[in-house]
Amino acid sequence: MRNDNKQFGLAYLGLSEAGDYLAQHDGRVLGVVGFGHRATVAHTPVWVDIPVLGGLGTSVEVWTSNAPVEPLAYQGLVGASDGNVLFASLSLEQRAGETLEMLATQAYTGIFDFIDHHDYPNLLRVWHYFPKINDDENGLERYRGFNIGRHTAFVASGRGIGAENVPAASALGSDSGALTIYFIAGKQPGKALENPRQISAYRYPKLFGPRSPIFARAMSATLGGQYCCLVSGTASIVGYETLHRGDAEKQAAETLLNIRILLQQIPHYNAAQGHMSLKVYLRHAGDLDMVRSKVQAEFGMACEAVYLHSNICRSDLLLEIEGAYFIDAR
Ligand code: 3EB
């Protein structure tokens, strides 16, 4: 079941449905993100050049509020807020002489300035997309450079790196374009969740780059009367290590187990009453049918899932799954 017209929530729409949906939610749209083929959509979406699998061509991610929304802008970032949370985005083109590390620092500095300026200081959920994620740049994988830059900005903002300040996140490769980031921040802090099967990402050993990634495994918050759990990109990692190198089927099973264990920590979790939406990122398009059948077996047919063809931030990962779970908080 899709969120009804008055709820806080999320929908993944085909292009033909997006127009009506946005019209129905007029004045309550927090953010719109397009994946795949570019097309004209109301609300000038953020575009991410990642192909949509399964024949859709374009997928439109729409975040809506139960409350009226107002636009926000500050220093090149644009977004909208409902008085409780804000949604915003930025795109930074990498120019000659710039490294992804520099861009990441610039992006996160802008994000912190923006959310502090508007007084939504709690970063809840961040999505990062950039091209050539696993390629080398000045002797370091670009994703690892990204992690250094993010770390620099976190420290410079005065935010500690721990459960109090770390958002849920995803980081994926796009086929082209700028470093594109969109995020949700709150007036109130959420509650970060970690996975007992996994070391917190911000405590990964240096083996995975000079600076660890900074994210929590999930973030929960009550938004517009809905209990909401935003699950970070989740992969076949146990402890800090990738399991099942080269075996997409086993990675899919391990990833789904990681998500299941994470969801077990949610006091309100009820698969029958709540609603789960997923974004599934596949390194190889040929794994679509296998992964989709495993996802459907785990979550049932009512679970909304979008399948995208993209590189994953560790070169040995073949897939990653993120989610958003909503349930009436009353
Ligand atoms: C992992 O568990 C997989 O760098 O922001 C997942 C979610 C991953 C977010 C990020 C990275 C990020 O380490 C990779």
Ligand 1 mean position, distance from CA 232 (Å): 7
Average pLDDT of span 9-32:
96
* CB of 171 closer than 6 angstroms to any ligand 1 atom: yes
pLDDT given for residue 267 in this prediction: 85
Average pLDDT of span 169-196:
98
Is residue 322 part of the annotated active site? The answer reads no
Average pLDDT of span 232-245:
98
**pLDDT band at residue 257 under the 50/70/90 scheme:** very high
Ligand 1 mean position, distance from CA 144 (Å): 11
Among residues of the chain, what percentage have pLDDT more than 70?
A: 98
If one counts every other C-beta atom within 10 angstroms of the C-beta of residue 123, the result is 27
* CB of 213 closer than 6 angstroms to any ligand 1 atom: yes
**pLDDT band at residue 330 under the 50/70/90 scheme:** confident
**Residue that is written with structure tokens 């929530």 in the block:** 9
* CB of 181 closer than 6 angstroms to any ligand 1 atom: no
Average pLDDT score over the chain = 96
Task: Give SS3 for 270.
Answer: coil
The minimum-distance atom of ligand 1 relative to the CA of 128 is: 5
pLDDT given for residue 3 in this prediction: 52
- What are the two backbone dihedrals, phi and then psi, of residue 2, each rounded to the nearest 5 degrees? -75, 155
What tens digit of pLDDT does each residue of 309-326 get? 999 999 999 999 999 999
Ligand 1 mean position, distance from CA 169 (Å): 7
Average pLDDT of span 209-229:
96
- Residue ranges and CATH numbers for the domains of the chain are 9-328 (3.30.1330.40)
DSSP state, residue 172: E
Average pLDDT of span 265-286:
94
Ligand 1 mean position, distance from CA 81 (Å): 26
Task: Tell which one of 215, 231, 258 to mutate to probe ligand 1, the residue whose CB is within 8 A of the most ligand atoms.
Answer: 215
Active-site pick, 61, 141, 194, 320 = 320
pLDDT given for residue 1 in this prediction: 41
pLDDT given for residue 5 in this prediction: 64
Bridge partners of 191, per DSSP, are: 220
The minimum-distance atom of ligand 1 relative to the CA of 143 is: 4
What tens digit of pLDDT does each residue of 58-89 get? 999 999 999 999 999 999 999 999 999 999 99
The minimum-distance atom of ligand 1 relative to the CA of 322 is: 7
DSSP state, residue 288: H
Q: Are strands 140-141 and 168-174 parallel, antiparallel or unpaired?
A: unpaired
How many Å apart are CA 220 and CA 229, to the nearest integer? 4
The minimum-distance atom of ligand 1 relative to the CA of 204 is: 13
pLDDT given for residue 312 in this prediction: 98
What tens digit of pLDDT does each residue of 203-216 get? 999 988 999 999 99
If one counts every other C-beta atom within 10 angstroms of the C-beta of residue 47, the result is 22
The full length of the chain comes to: 330
Please name the residue whose Cα sits nearest to atom 13 of ligand 1.
Answer: 201
* CB of 212 closer than 6 angstroms to any ligand 1 atom: no
Ligand 1 mean position, distance from CA 104 (Å): 15
What global pTM score does this model have?
Answer: 0.97
How many Å apart are CA 92 and CA 295, to the nearest integer? 34
**pLDDT band at residue 268 under the 50/70/90 scheme:** confident
Average pLDDT of span 173-191:
97
What tens digit of pLDDT does each residue of 97-110 get? 999 999 999 999 99
pLDDT given for residue 190 in this prediction: 97
